[in-house]
Amino acid sequence: MKNERPETDLIILQETPEEQQYDFMPKSFDDYLGQEVLKEKLKMYTHAAKMRSEALDHMLLFGPPGLGKTTLSQIMAQVMEVSIKICSGPMMERTGDLVSILSSLEPRSILFIDEIHRMPTHVEEVLYTAMEYFRVDVIIGQGPGAQSLNLPIHPFTLIGATTQSGKISAPLRSRFGITERLDFYTDEELQKIVLQSARFLELSLTQDAALRIGRCARGTPRIAKKLLRRVRDFAQVQHKNIADDTITEKALLFLGIDHEGLTSVDNMILYKLMEHFNGGPVGLETLASLIAEDKETIESVYEPFLLRKGYLEKTPRGRQIPFKKLPFLQKKYFGQNTLL
């Protein structure tokens, strides 16, 4: 096993704005695949608010990144026939930034704040009266001559999105009337999303190839769409007019993703656990040092997938490979089935 991490491993970490334009963006709940239970709830909420000509209740959407929180918010705005403004919590460093946005909102419009848990506390406090009473308090001037100005705003809907719901402060959380979680997608749901995106990209893709991509997408549509674009690149360079299972397998192996959907970093984590600790347990900081990766990235990016797939487990003494997986991994990495 090599310690180098190819650039293709960043496929599960980030997305460039240039690539977003190539993604199929659902415009309605019918076009949005997966999250069926949540989707039915949101249909009811939005249609009821539209029938009353009222703003939708404030909503908190939480779950891992890449599952479609922004897309669902855009669909809700489309259904209610209102405008939507999208911004990021960490980018609003001054109260004036938020006040400016809130004062420009149209009646019943939606304000979507991504990573809302990272919003500075002094900015977050402006939201309290805005969400509850539809007004903002602005301080004009400084020192003894400062005056407080009460500025009314139009009724609106705040949709806060977060990947770490536990970091939402209690005062802010209590003001959300609707709180919903997005779950990871199944391989079959991702297969449908891949086929939908392939049609948008005008790429011929077989059912088996789409399922293979879905199995490697770590339960996340955003990753599935990235992998599809790379498969398309590979098929085009190979002068193939259809991406079948063989072409898709070769493309994924080229990207460093094996048959189990594990990237080179996933395999490196498991390999180091096997080579140095006979499968563990080992502390997170020690493991991070062995693979030259920071522990936060291991914990938030790689561990969730390995835990869900049963390749890793957490114990009071550290991370370890479950006993039932040891024979398989020993054969995979060392060509043997006996315990090390």
Please identify every residue annotated as catalytic: 69-70, 114, 163, 222
Is the domain of 89 the same as that of 107? Answer: yes
Spatial separation of the C-alpha atoms in residues 241 and 214, rounded to whole Å: 21
Instruction: Please say if the pLDDT value at position 275 is more than 80.
Output: yes
Same domain, 46 and 153: yes
Q: What is the number of domains present in the chain?
A: 3
Cα 122 from Cα 226, distance rounded (Å): 37
Residue 118 reports pLDDT greater than 50: yes
Specify whether 231 is located in the same domain as 156. Answer: no
Residues 140 and 189 in one domain: no
Whether residue 215 is contained in a domain is answered as yes
Structure tokens at 305: 């997938």
How many residues in total does the chain contain? 340
Residues 239 and 307 both lie in one domain: no
318 and 206 together in one domain: no
CB-side neighbour CA atoms (13 Å) of 130: 26
Asked if residue 52 is part of any domain, the answer here is yes
Pairing of strands 318-320, 157-162: unpaired
N-terminal to C-terminal alpha carbon distance within the chain: 17
Residues 6+ apart with CB under 8 A from 335: none
Output the pLDDT for position 14.
42
Residue 279 pLDDT level (bands cut at 50, 70, 90): confident
- 222 and 145 share one domain: no
Domain boundary among 123, 148, 181: 181
Flag whether pLDDT at 12 surpasses 80.
no
Identity of the amino acid at 327: P
In a domain? residue 101? yes
Angle (CA) 95 100 106, round 5°: 135
User: Which residues, including other chains, have CB under 8 Å from residue 254's CB and lie 6 or more apart?
Assistant: 234
pLDDT confidence bin for 139, thresholds 50/70/90? low
**pLDDT at 13 > cutoff 50:** no
160, 46: one domain: yes
Task: Look at residue 21 in the predicted model and tell me its pLDDT.
Answer: 55
Question: Could you tell me if 177 and 39 lie in one domain?
Answer: yes
Give CA separation, 122 vs 17, 25, 92, 142, 149, in Å.
30, 35, 10, 17, 17
Residue 23 CB coordination number (10 Å): 17
Does 291 fall in a domain? yes
315 and 214 both lie in a single domain: no
Does the residue 310 lie in any domain? Answer: yes
> Which CATH number does the domain housing residue 326 bear?
1.10.10.10
Q: Which residue has the higher pLDDT, 83 or 94?
A: 83
Containing structural domain, residue 138? 35-181
Res 329 pLDDT > 80: yes
Identify the CATH number of the domain in which residue 142 sits: 3.40.50.300
Average model confidence (pLDDT) for the chain? 85
The verdict on 219 and 176 lying in the same domain is no
Mean pLDDT of 223-231: 92
The continuous run of DSSP H or E covering 120 comes out as: none
CATH code of the domain covering residue 189 = 1.10.8.60
Kindly compute the dihedral angle of the four CA atoms of residues 165, 166, 168, 170, in this order, to the nearest 10 degrees: 130
The stretch 290-308 carries a mean pLDDT of 85
Domain stop point among 152, 181, 210: 181
Q: Is residue 284 part of a domain?
A: yes
- pLDDT for 208 equals 92
The residue out of 254, 283, 307 marking a domain boundary is 254
Q: Where are the beta strands (DSSP E) in 268-328?
A: 313-315, 318-320
Asked if residue 18 is part of any domain, the answer here is no
Q: Are residues 121 and 57 part of one domain?
A: yes
The answer to whether 251 touches 231, Cβ cutoff 8 Å, is: yes
